[in-house]
Amino acid sequence: QVQLVESGGGLVQAGGSLRLSCIVSGRTFSSYAMGWFRQAPGKEREFVAAAWWGGSINHYAASVKGRFTIFRDNAKNTVYLQMNSLKPEDTAVYYCASGLESESRISWDYWGQGTQVTVSS
């Protein structure tokens, strides 16, 4: 079974940094795209960042571009989200996801359990 296990969430002050990790098992990690999403209470889940397996192409939501970095270590089957210059509006449950690439789109088929990130002001 494909399993995604996250870690690294917590409480941080505005302007601080956190690094989230997601370890993938049950799937050939290097063959799939990896991404991060987040969801705040009462809001829809939103895309944060994605790392395509081919071409070393990363994509970011405008709200986090320049502050967050997604990167992956294929040898460790792990994807990371480095979050810098955190803002209170970044507070949410963060989910990692694994997906299939089709043309220029990704179909996300497996998700992690979510980890809480809280940014205090």
- Cα 78 from Cα 99, distance rounded (Å): 14
Residue pair 47/37 in contact (Cβ under 8 Å)? The answer is yes
Q: How high is the pLDDT of residue 47?
A: 97
Q: Tell me the pLDDT band of 35, cut-offs 50, 70 and 90.
A: very high
Q: Which DSSP category does 104 fall into?
A: T
Identify which has the larger pLDDT, 36 or 72: 36
> Of all residues in the chain, what percent carry a pLDDT higher than 70?
98
Over residues 46-102, the pLDDT tens digits come to 999 999 876 578 999 999 999 999 998 888 999 999 999 999 999 999 999 999 988
- Cα 13 from Cα 17, distance rounded (Å): 8
Smallest Cα–Cα separation from 84: which of 103, 60, 59, 66?
66
Q: Are strands 10-13 and 115-120 parallel, antiparallel or unpaired?
A: parallel
